Amino acid sequence: MIARAWRYGQHVLVFAGLMVTWHLLTTSMNDPMFPTPERVWQSFTRTWNDGSLMEAFRDSNGALLAGLALGVPGGIVLGMLAGYFRIIDRILAPYVNMMLVVPMVALVPILIIVFGLGTSSRVAVIVLFVLPDVLVNTRGGVRLADRQLLMMARSYGGSTLSVFRTLLLPTAFPSVMTGLRIGIGRGITGMIVVELTLVASGMGGFIMEALGRFRAGHMIVMILLIGLEAVVLTSLCVLAERRVLKRMGA
Amino acid sequence: MARSANAAELGPGRSIGLTLRSVRHGYESEGVRSVVLDGLDITVDPGEFVSVVGPSGCGKTTLLKTLQGLSRPWEGEVLVGGQPAWKVPAGRVATVFQSDCLLPWRRIWRNVVYGAEMAQRRSHRAKKAEVQALLEQVGLGENADQFPSQLSGGMRQRVNLARALYVEPSVMLMDEPFAALDGQTQEVMQAELLRIWALHKRTVVFVTHRLDEAIYLSDRVVILTQRPTRVHSVVDVPFDRPRPLEIKRTPAFNELLDDVWARLREAAGSTAGIAR
pLDDT > 80? residue A41: yes
Task: Judge whether B95 is closer than 8 Å to chain A, CB to CB.
Answer: yes
A141-166 tens-digit pLDDT: 999 888 889 989 988 888 888 898 88
Name the helix (H) or strand (E) containing A36.
Answer: none
pLDDT at B6: 41
Cβ contacts (< 8 Å) between B91 and chain A: which residues?
Answer: 156-157
B105/A170 Cβ within 8 A: yes
Give ipTM to 2 decimals.
0.80
Q: How confident is the model at residue B13 (pLDDT cuts 50, 70, 90)?
A: low
Region A91-114: what's the mean pLDDT? Answer: 86
Residue in A149, A157, A163 nearest the CB of B101? A149
Helix (H, G, I), strand (E, B) or coil at A156: coil
* Cα B230 from Cα B25, distance rounded (Å): 11
Among chain B residues, CA nearest to A171: B105
- Among B1, B102, B117, B118, pick the best mutation site for testing chain A contact (most A Cβ within 10 A): B118
Number of domains in chain A: 2
Contact (Cβ atoms closer than 8 angstroms) between residue B13 and residue B168 = yes
Task: Judge whether B147 is closer than 8 Å to chain A, CB to CB.
Answer: yes
* Cα A229 from Cα B159, distance rounded (Å): 47
Name the helix (H) or strand (E) containing B219.
Answer: none
Domain boundaries, chain B: 42-92+170-276, 102-168
Q: Is the peptide bond before B84 cis (omega within 30 degrees of 0)?
A: no
Cβ contacts (< 8 Å) between B174 and chain A: which residues?
Answer: none
My answer on whether A6 and A79 are in the same domain is no
Region B148-160: what's the mean pLDDT? Answer: 91
A248/B105 Cβ within 8 A: yes
User: Which DSSP string do the residues of A172-196 spell out, in sequence order?
Assistant: HHHHHHHHHHHHHHHHHHHHHHHHH
- Using only C-alpha atoms, chain A has a radius of gyration, in whole angstroms, of 22
pLDDT > 50? residue B3: no
pLDDT > 50? residue B4: no
My answer on whether A98 and A76 are in the same domain is yes
Cβ contacts (< 8 Å) between B89 and chain A: which residues?
Answer: 157
pLDDT at A103: 82
Q: How confident is the model at residue A76 (pLDDT cuts 50, 70, 90)?
A: very high
My answer on whether A231 and A170 are in the same domain is yes
pLDDT at A194: 85
pLDDT at B126: 66
My answer on whether A118 and A12 are in the same domain is no
pLDDT at B12: 54
Answer positive or negative: Cα dihedral of B31, B34, B39, B42: negative
pLDDT > 80? residue B15: no
Region B158-179: what's the mean pLDDT? Answer: 90
Task: Judge whether B27 is closer than 8 Å to chain A, CB to CB.
Answer: no
Helix (H, G, I), strand (E, B) or coil at B204: strand
* Cα B195 from Cα B120, distance rounded (Å): 28
* Cα A222 from Cα A60, distance rounded (Å): 12
My answer on whether A17 and A107 are in the same domain is no
B89/A157 Cβ within 8 A: yes
A window 158-177, beta carbon within 8 A of B: 158-159, 162-163, 166-167, 170
A236-248 tens-digit pLDDT: 988 988 888 777 6
Q: How far is A146 from chain B (nearest CA, A)?
A: 9
Residue in A146, A163, A249 nearest the CB of B105? A249
Considering all CA atoms of chain A, what is the largest pairwise distance in Å, rounded to the nearest integer?
Answer: 75
Fold of B42-92+170-276: Rossmann fold (3.40.50)
pLDDT at A249: 57
**Nearest Cα to B96, choosing from B4, B166, B200, B201?**
B166
B68/A148 Cβ within 8 A: no
User: pTM for the full model?
Assistant: 0.76
My answer on whether A161 and A190 are in the same domain is yes
Q: How far is B81 from chain A (nearest CA, A)?
A: 18
DSSP state of B205: E
Residue in A156, A167, A249 nearest the CB of B115? A156
CATH of the domain at A40: 1.10.3720.10
Domain with A113 in it: 36-248
- Using only C-alpha atoms, chain B has a radius of gyration, in whole angstroms, of 19
Residue in A149, A151, A157 nearest the CB of B103? A149
A171-213 tens-digit pLDDT: 898 899 999 999 898 889 888 888 888 778 889 999 999 888 8
My answer on whether A6 and A42 are in the same domain is no
pLDDT > 70? residue B185: yes
Q: How confident is the model at residue B50 (pLDDT cuts 50, 70, 90)?
A: very high
Amino acid identity, position B10: L
Q: How confident is the model at residue B10 (pLDDT cuts 50, 70, 90)?
A: very low
Q: Is the peptide bond before B55 cis (omega within 30 degrees of 0)?
A: no
Contact (Cβ atoms closer than 8 angstroms) between residue A135 and residue A75 = yes
B228-247 tens-digit pLDDT: 888 898 999 999 888 888 99
Cβ contacts (< 8 Å) between A146 and chain B: which residues?
Answer: 101
* Exposed / middle / buried, residue A33 (Cβ in 10 Å: 0-12, 13-18, 19+): exposed
The residue ranges of DSSP E strands in chain A, in sequence order, are none
Contact (Cβ atoms closer than 8 angstroms) between residue B192 and residue B158 = yes
Helix (H, G, I), strand (E, B) or coil at B33: strand
B97/A151 Cβ within 8 A: yes
Q: How confident is the model at residue B91 (pLDDT cuts 50, 70, 90)?
A: confident
**Nearest Cα to A79, choosing from A25, A130, A18?**
A130
Contact (Cβ atoms closer than 8 angstroms) between residue A206 and residue A51 = no
